[in-house]
């Protein structure tokens, strides 16, 4: 039997023999494409080639691509674990033709690989072809049918509808008819009873699609219509895990060697056998699957977080924790303990799992711990809700409450309903659904964006970026389009060449202007969509065909370059001071500051921070020149020891940026010599996740004014202290003097209290068996309380009213002996509330002691009178 490793290699070798270039998987987390969060198919990394944004580097390509289908057009999340053949993260094997071969070879080779090389029995295979669509004015794909008819009997070639047999990446973009290969894995007996052709595309777990051959020949436009692409392409995708299932003779992806060790470990930790029950099986599959998605994401540098891709990853992990919690009784973190098994299974094909293992484990463990705590808090809250429901005599927990649990505490509906059921309650699912819909609508409205089609002004293969050498240049518009987002419209312009840097690699995009005799237009941002540089403007030039002079905002670019180069120096210094485990996990560079996230497991000490600053500033003073190689073969760059990041997509030829010992692969804009940075200053160091630290720093003028501000503060302190030579000694002196003074004041106050008390006692009015004191005093609140309690202890049958003035505000205190409270039904709380009205205030307390604070000092006498009147 072939192992999964051998199967992967067999596929790549087969196509290598057919002159396909093998390329590495692109990262699973997509960077630099605002329309896509995660790679959801093998073709994503070739989008620019399909769209003609840039020429294809190879005409034939094969690879295995890490895909994640948990959001957007392809979202399988809710299926995963419940069935045995959909994953969140999976490998998609693919072969491509860019303007080279088409349907004939694609189908013949697929057949050759599956049947002749892998030995799958022909009579289990079915093919589908696109039946056509009147909506798109497309007829049936007879061409594909004829080719299939050379391999399969006609009754095993089926027509498929647009949903199954017309592949689209998103709402717009490259697409085309496709032809799927399905396999029937049922027993001979079952196959006798019901022919497989009746089960194709019917969600039968044993009659499934394994390979999809897509013939990409159209581009879907914003208005839904199709246009022909410049060249015809082939894009195929085969589920690697499904292929392994077929070739290893099992009937579930989870029974292949890809998942077996993980499942075994989960079973041993839980003490429950895989196969013992439906629910526990599902939970084990969910965990085994999600482990992969989350580990790969973190290894690529995408940490779980509260927004965007990070939030999706967090939710996947939480789904796994929750299944473990509910069905396998996991109360402590478990998933991080599986990373080691995953590394053993997949580490040789994906070495990032080996190098990032420690980080992946730490991050997952911390996430698990924090979510388990949330689960506990949520369960406490749910208890209260159930109590409330029962008290109200209701049978179902309010939908709004259930939604709060879901939204604020990440509490899934099925968990809530499970716990409710254990207490004999249901949940108001309709109410929940309503809240959910309302929330979805809110976020839809917030995210809604309407992108119009490109308007082509002139033919252009790809934009030449001039910005490494020039900040000004003559440009022509190649194409433009309108975008409307939250009611605001703007334009995206693509030039034939441009000095503007498009936001990428953590560096923000350039701003500036384009102008000619007729007009001047502001570029308020420059972005990158894959390799396309897009300039954003509020308005469209009145003559798009005209020639423009483009000018980048020099000041902003210079400040940004300072921060970008400083980031490289910082990276190298961190590795020098802390060790080579330091790796970049995130970076932001703009004109104001730089932010650098990196793996390191402890808080940096003050000494370490100082050492890093010292090294960076020394490098700045060395004034190292930029040594740049814009097109170095990636292997040479590796040999040079250039820093490369996982999760970054590097081509065969890369740009290397070197300043002294710092060597990085980088597309950003830099200073020409480090001396320009002037000064580097770290302003904060903090944690952003388990094992990931963040440094924020500033350079040049910003650093200078930061240092000056600090010095100014020191000077003002010195002035306040009346200019001692040694400020520290001055402050220490004041502090110790202060301690002495505080003690003196305390002693003095005690003395004052004694005198005041004696004075008050001498003024007691005895009436009807009550000792009445009513006086105005000037004391702070703590002392008044002290005084009132002392008097109460020393005088029987006391009715005490104290009016106070504290920092210009009136206050009222009433203290009544307990005996009086009982006998005469007096209540100090009620009294101060009533009497407090006279000073425009409120308050309260207990029946024997209460206070009120107010705003109107002139009413103090009246308030005291009023209080007395209750006697
Ligand atoms: P299905 O109908 O089974 O969900 P699909 O039509 O979504 O498949 P494609 O988008 O054509 O699949 O993807 C190509 C191949 O990738 C499929 O033939 C299948 O083998 C595999 N595949 C698709 N989705 C998944 C998934 N969630 N997990 C594992 N493999 C998948
Ligand atoms: Mg699908």
pLDDT for the residue 12: 97
pLDDT reported for residue 326: 87
Give, using CA atoms, the residue closest to atom 6 of ligand 1.
164
Q: What is the pLDDT of residue 396?
A: 93
Q: How close is the Cα of 262 to the center of ligand 1, in Å?
A: 22
Q: Following DSSP, what letter does each residue of 803-831 receive, concatenated?
A: EEEETTEEEEEEEE-HHHHHHTT--HHHH
Nearest CA to ligand 1 atom 30: 239
Burial class (CB in 10 A: 0-12, 13-18, 19+), 510: buried
Neighbours of 375 (CB within 10 A): 20
Burial class (CB in 10 A: 0-12, 13-18, 19+), 478: buried
Residue 194: strand pairing partners: none
Torsion of CA 48, 53, 56, 59, to 10 degrees: 80
Bridging pattern class, strands 426-427 and 396-397? parallel
Ligand 1 mean position, distance from CA 44 (Å) = 15
Counting ligand 1 atoms within 8 A of each CB, the residue from 86, 120, 207, 245 with the most, and so the one to mutate, is 86
Q: Is 11 exposed, middle or buried, given 0-12, 13-18 or 19+ CB atoms closer than 10 A?
A: buried
Classify 119 in phi/psi space as left (phi over 0), alpha (psi -120 to 50) or beta.
Answer: left
The best mutation among 239, 247, 288, 316 to test binding of ligand 1, ranked by most ligand atoms within 8 Å of the C-beta, falls on 239
Out of 95, 160, 170, 212, mutate this one to test ligand 1's pocket (max ligand atoms within 8 Å of CB): namely 212
CA-CA distance, 64 to 494, in Å (whole number)? 32
- Tell me, in angstroms, the distance from the centre of ligand 1 to residue 648's CA: 25
Structure tokens at 421: 């059921």
**How far is 795 from 784, CA to CA, in rounded Å?**
16
Going from the Cα of 74 to the center of ligand 2, the distance in angstroms, rounded, reads: 6
Distance set, CA 416 to CA 311, 391, 410, 419, 559 (Å): 22, 19, 11, 5, 52
Q: Could you say which DSSP state residue 112 is in?
A: I
Residue by residue, what is the 3-state secondary structure of 547-612?
EEEEEECHHHHHHHHHHHHHHHHHHHHHHHHHCCCCCEEEEEECCCCEEEEEECCCCCCHHHHHHH
Task: Give the ligand 1 atom nearest the CA of 178.
Answer: 11
Q: Which atom of ligand 1 is nearest to the CA of 209?
A: 18
Could you identify the atom of ligand 1 that is nearest to the CA of residue 40? 10
C-alpha 209 to ligand 2 mean position (Å): 9
Protein residue with its CA nearest to atom 23 in ligand 1? 239
Give strand pairing partners of 491.
482, 537
Which residues does ligand 1 sit against, CB inside 6 Å?
69, 76, 86-87, 90, 92, 208-212, 237-239, 241-242
Q: What pTM value is reported for the model? A: 0.78
d(CA 94, CA 212) in angstroms, rounded, equals 9
Would you state the structure tokens that stand for residue 138, as one six-digit string?
Answer: 């497309």
Task: Give the 3-state secondary structure of residue 217.
Answer: strand
Ligand nearest to the CA of 209: 1
Across the chain, which has 871 residues, the per-10-residue mean pLDDT values are 95 98 94 86 90 88 96 85 96 96 97 97 96 93 96 96 88 90 96 94 95 93 88 94 97 97 98 96 97 96 89 93 92 97 95 93 94 87 91 92 86 83 90 91 79 90 92 96 90 97 95 95 94 94 95 98 98 96 93 96 96 98 96 93 84 92 95 97 94 96 97 92 84 93 92 91 91 90 90 93 90 93 90 91 90 91 92 83
Rg (CA), the chain: 36
What's the CA-to-centroid distance between 254 and ligand 1, angstroms? Answer: 16
CB atoms within 10 A of CB 283: 25
pLDDT value at residue 244:
98
Give the ligand whose atoms come closest to the C-alpha of residue 67. Answer: 1
């Amino acid at each position: 039997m072939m192992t999964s490793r051998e199967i992967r290699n067999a596929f790549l070798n087969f196509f290598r023999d057919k002159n396909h270039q093998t390329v590495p998987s692109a990262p699973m987390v997509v960077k630099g494409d605002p329309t896509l969060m995660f790679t959801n198919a093998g073709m994503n990394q070739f989008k620019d080639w399909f769209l003609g944004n840039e020429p294809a580097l190879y005409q034939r390509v094969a690879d295995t691509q890490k895909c994640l289908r948990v959001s957007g057009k392809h979202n399988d999340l809710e299926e995963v674990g419940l069935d045995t053949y959909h994953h969140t993260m999976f490998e998609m094997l693919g072969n491509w033709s860019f303007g080279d071969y088409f349907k004939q070879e694609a189908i013949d080779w697929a057949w050759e690989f599956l049947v002749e090389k892998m030995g799958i029995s022909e009579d289990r295979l079915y093919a589908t072809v696109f039946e056509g669509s009147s909506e798109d004015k497309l007829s049936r794909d007879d061409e594909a049918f004829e080719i299939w008819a050379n391999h399969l009997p006609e009754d095993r070639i089926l027509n498929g509808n647009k949903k199954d047999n017309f592949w689209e990446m998103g709402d717009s973009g490259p697409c085309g008819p496709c032809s799927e290969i399905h396999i029937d894995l049922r027993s001979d007996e079952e196959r006798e009873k019901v022919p497989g052709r009746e089960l194709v595309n019917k969600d039968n777990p044993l009659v499934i699609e394994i390979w999809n051959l897509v013939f990409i020949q159209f581009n879907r436009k914003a208005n839904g219509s199709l246009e022909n692409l410049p060249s015809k392409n082939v894009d195929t995708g085969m589920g690697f895990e499904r292929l392994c299932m077929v070739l290893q003779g099992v009937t579930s992806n989870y029974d292949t060697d890809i998942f077996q060790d993980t499942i075994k470990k989960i079973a041993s930790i839980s003490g429950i056998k895989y196969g013992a029950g439906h629910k526990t099986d599902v939970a084990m599959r969910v965990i085994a699957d999600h482990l992969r998605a989350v580990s790969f994401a973190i290894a690529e540098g995408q940490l779980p977080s509260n927004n965007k891709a990070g939030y999706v990853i967090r939710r996947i992990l939480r789904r796994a924790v929750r299944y473990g919690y509910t069905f396998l009784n996991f109360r402590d973190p478990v998933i991080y303990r599986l990373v080691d098994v995953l590394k053993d299974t997949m580490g040789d094909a994906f070495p990032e799992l080996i190098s990032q293992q420690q980080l992946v484990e730490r991050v997952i463990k911390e996430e698990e711990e924090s979510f388990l705590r949330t689960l506990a808090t949520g369960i406490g809250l749910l208890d209260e809700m159930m109590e409330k429901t029962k008290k109200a005599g209701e049978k179902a927990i309010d939908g709004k409450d259930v939604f709060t649990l879901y939204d604020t505490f990440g509490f899934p509906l099925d968990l809530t309903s499970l716990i409710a059921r254990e207490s004999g309650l249901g949940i108001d699912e309709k109410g929940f659904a309503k809240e959910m819909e309302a929330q979805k609508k809110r976020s839809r409205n917030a995210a809604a964006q309407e992108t119009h089609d490109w308007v082509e002004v002139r033919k252009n293969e790809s934009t030449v970026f001039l910005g490494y050498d020039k900040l000004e240049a003559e440009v022509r518009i190649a194409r433009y389009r309108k975008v409307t987002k939250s009611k605001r419209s703007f334009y995206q312009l693509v030039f034939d060449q441009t000095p503007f840097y498009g936001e990428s690699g953590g560096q923000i995009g350039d701003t500036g202007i384009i102008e000619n005799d007729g007009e001047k237009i502001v570029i308020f941002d420059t972005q990158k969509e894959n390799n396309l540089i897009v300039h954003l403007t509020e308005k469209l030039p009145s003559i798009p065909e005209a020639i423009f002079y483009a000018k980048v905002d020099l000041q902003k670019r210079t400040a940004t370059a300072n921060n970008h180069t400083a980031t490289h120096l910082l990276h190298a210094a961190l590795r020098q001071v802390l060790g080579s485990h330091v790796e970049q996990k995130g970076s932001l560079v703009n004109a104001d500051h730089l932010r650098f996230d990196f793996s390191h497991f402890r808080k940096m000490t003050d000494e370490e921070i100082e050492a890093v600053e010292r090294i960076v500033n020394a490098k700045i003073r060395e004034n190292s020149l930029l040594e740049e190689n814009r097109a170095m073969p990636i292997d040479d760059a590796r040999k040079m020891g250039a820093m490369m990041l996982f999760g970054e997509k590097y081509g065969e030829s890369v740009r290397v940026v070197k300043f002294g010992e710092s060597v990085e692969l980088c597309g950003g804009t830099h200073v020409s010599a480090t001396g320009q940075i002037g000064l580097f200053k770290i302003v904060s160091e903090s944690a952003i996740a388990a094992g990931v630290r963040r440094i924020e720093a500033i350079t040049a003028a910003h650093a200078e004014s930061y240092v000056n501000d600090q010095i100014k503060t020191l000077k003002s302190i010195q002035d306040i202290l009346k200019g001692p030579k040694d400020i520290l000694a001055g402050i220490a002196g004041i502090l110790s003097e202060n301690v002495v003074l505080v003690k003196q004041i305390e002693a003095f106050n005690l003395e004052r209290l004694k005198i005041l008390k004696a004075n008050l006692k001498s003024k007691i009015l005895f009436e009807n068996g009550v000792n009445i004191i009513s006086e105005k005093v000037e004391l702070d609140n703590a002392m008044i309380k002290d005084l009132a309690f002392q008097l109460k202890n020393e005088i029987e049958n006391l009715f005490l009213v104290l009016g106070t003035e504290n920092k210009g505000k009136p206050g009222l205190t009433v203290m009544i002996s307990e005996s009086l409270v009982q006998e005469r039904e007096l209540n100090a709380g009620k009294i101060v509330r009533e009497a407090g009205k006279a000073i425009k205030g409120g308050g309260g307390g207990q029946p024997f002691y209460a206070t009120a604070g107010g705003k109107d000092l002139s009413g103090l006498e009246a308030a005291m009178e009023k209080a007395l009147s209750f006697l």
